[in-house]
Structure 1
């Protein structure tokens, strides 16, 4: 049982690890100043591809549920991330976004009836501290709208993770993933046209390679792994894995772009990894939430057929 859980954690962790390479691909291969276009091309074709492969469309309530989950996990998250990235230094945006595991733990307690433990809270605080050591730079300026967007992005992703756990789709995993990617991509299309205008008419071979990587590997594969992990892991444990993204992004920048890696950044990476390990493990013989900070009286997760 323990080995099976470890295997699920390691496979699921591949998703945020791959997402950590997005910055490198975007800066080195994609057209500049087109982040939302990249998000659309990343998500919409991947979703349509998975729907075509599975030949499954939503039924009944899963039409609107797919729209809600696609908006939270994909569309709204990407839009808020875009605003935060443009109005904040990357270090501040990543540090604010690192509160997602704590938000997920709180929502899991309120919606799913999970126990919020002191162990989880301390791990979440350590994760935020580790990310700040890893990416935060002295003299970085705050922007109210940017900070709000970063917090909003963390909140909508946390809500999407928790609702995905509560609303368990009876359809195959790849079909459900395709529905969400398609819904999120469609929601991003009008925002992209409004803010970035029409897409470029000419693309280089590097552009095509970058978009193909983000679509096939960075969306179709990784989101399938992410949602597969969500079906087996507690939402809070899953959310802690998202902290791998800034760690991988920093390591890739160091290895591929020759960026400096200071001892303080190395310490931050170790703190983040430590918080991940603690969040994924339990004391022998303990049940989830054996040291409760709070517990919700909410009903257990609802499974509905369509």
Structure 2
């Protein structure tokens, strides 16, 4: 979650580097930093895991993924006319699938379809329909209508939703860090949205 929360900051960086018209104000950048700080506070107790050497390769891949996601977001938002949403989603899913199959082929880590249980298939169905087709299509649509920096704050909302759902549905404990981090994160999101509205005016 902490690494994923780097996406808005990377998007801001690529927006500054790639856009001729730099639609990022000081307050908007401050909002992104505040939002990231809030996410770090929410997961403060897990920061030590980032220093675990056994997770180093995975951490590098995760950071590379966030950089790629941020660059792709800014690049897609600058396409005129906008790329067809379904084509965009389908192409990226196809490429991702090929990469995953290639990695599985190299590592030899395949899972037999017969060993996948009903609950797992239901989870896969949910991820395909809601987590990929609907959510990602909505994301591509939004970056064609709104500034990438404004859209990127979804990465700050996701951890908050996860924490609240865990508290409500799974009776997970809500500690001071989570409450404080949520308040700080929402403050950052508010700053970004307010500055985005000012730029439109």
The TM-score with structure 2 as length reference comes to 0.85
The worse-fitting range, judged by mean Cα deviation, of 258-267 and 165-174 is: 165-174
Unpaired runs of 5+ in structure 2? none
Q: 1:42-53, aligned counterparts within 5 Å?
A: none
Deviation per CA, 1:264-286, whole angstroms, max 9, x where unpaired? 211111211221121112388x4
Matched, 1:111 2:24: no
Matched, 1:240 2:153: yes
> 1:182: how far off?
1.6
Matched, 1:186 2:186: no
Aligned counterparts of 2:11 and 2:147: Cα–Cα separation in 1: 10
Q: 1:272 to 1:212 in 2, by over 3 A?
A: same
Give the corresponding residue for 1:132.
Answer: 40
Q: 1:171 to 1:227 in 2, by over 3 A?
A: closer
Q: 1:120 to 1:139 in 2, by over 3 A?
A: closer
Superposition RMSD on alpha carbons, in Å?
2.4
Greater fraction of residues in helix: 2
* Pick aligned residue for 1:161 from 61, 73, 77: 73
> 1:171: how far off?
5.3
Q: 1:288-299, aligned counterparts within 5 Å?
A: none
Q: For the Cα contact (< 8 Å) 2:29–2:192, is it kept in 1? A: no
Q: For the Cα contact (< 8 Å) 1:169–1:176, is it kept in 2? A: no
Q: For the Cα contact (< 8 Å) 2:11–2:73, is it kept in 1? A: yes
* Pick aligned residue for 1:149 from 61, 72, 94: 61
Size of the aligned set, in residue pairs, is: 195
* Pick aligned residue for 1:252 from 165, 168, 172: 165
Give the corresponding residue for 1:97.
Answer: 4
Matched, 1:208 2:121: yes
Could you say which structure has the greater relative contact order, defined with CA pairs below 8 angstroms and 6 or more residues apart?
A: 2
Deviation per CA, 1:166-214, whole angstroms, max 9, x where unpaired? 2346553223222222222222211134346122232221111111000
> 1:157: how far off?
1.2
Deviation per CA, 1:88-108, whole angstroms, max 9, x where unpaired? xxxxxx223322211111111
